[in-house]
Amino acid sequence: MPSPHDAVAPPHLSVVVPVKNEAANIAPLVAEIAAALQGSGTFEAIFVNDGSTDGTAAALRAEMARYAWLRMLTHAVSTGQSAAVRSGVRAARAPIVATLDGDGQNDPAFIPALVAALGAEGKVGLAQGQRVGRKDTAFKRLQSRLANRVRAWLLKDSTRDTGCGLKAFRRDAYLALPYFDALHRFMPALVSRDGWEVALVDVVDRPRLHGVSNYGFWNRVWVGIIDLIGVRWLISRKRPSPTVTEG
């Protein structure tokens, strides 16, 4: 079914935000996105309501009445952060997509810097945020540090923090990646696998605005051994892309 947004010119940037039971965080985060991107060209923000059971949908509809650039997609049941991001990217109308988490820990003020890091030459496929001053508990920081070291050792992706939700990337580069759960945690390695450069941008972490984490410990901190092995296999099986001519 065509979207009502199809009738207008596509924006330059799409911001995708996965949310699950984040009713109290919607209004302040939308306001921060508006402030961060004011004067940065045309944009849209797509909040993917991942099976929320609180007032998230109502909060989003209230903000949609104020901002024409705000869109909401809804999953009937929660399918996880990676699936929510994928739904948003597939629905995005801009060639450049930025993502951030819906809990307020990611500051939208860093989106312009991430988009700028992609450059105009078309060589950089992903600008990956790397958190400075993590606001998680000491236990979570330790778990994340260990998981990142194992991942970096196996995948050689030169990134210390793939779990940061702040990213900017070329939509076509993302859609060419093999999809699986937890894809968002392996994007630097897989984007590099496809021949793109990856830019690393330090971003400041903040405490969650309201509520508690709505995605499980395993989704947010540890990456599964099977996923690591699978991604390492994908990298090892990559062959140079052929030069194609017609006629």
Q: Give tens-digit pLDDT for 109-162.
A: 999 999 999 999 999 999 999 998 765 556 555 556 666 666 666 777 777 787
Q: Is the pLDDT of residue 220 over 50?
A: no
Residue whose C-alpha is closest to residue 103's, from 220, 224, 223:
220
Provide mean pLDDT across the span 213-220. Answer: 52
- State the CB neighbour count (10 A cutoff) for residue 133: 9
Residue whose C-alpha is closest to residue 118's, from 94, 93, 152, 88:
94
Q: How many alpha carbons lie under 13 Å from residue 96 in its C-beta half-sphere?
A: 23
Report the percentage of the chain scoring pLDDT > 90: 62
Q: Output the CA–CA distances (angstroms, integers) from residue 89 to 74, 171, 211, in the order listed.
A: 14, 7, 26
What is the rounded CA–CA span in Å between residue 155 and residue 32? Answer: 35
The C-alpha angle with vertex 92 and arms to 91 and 95, in degrees rounded to 5, equals 140
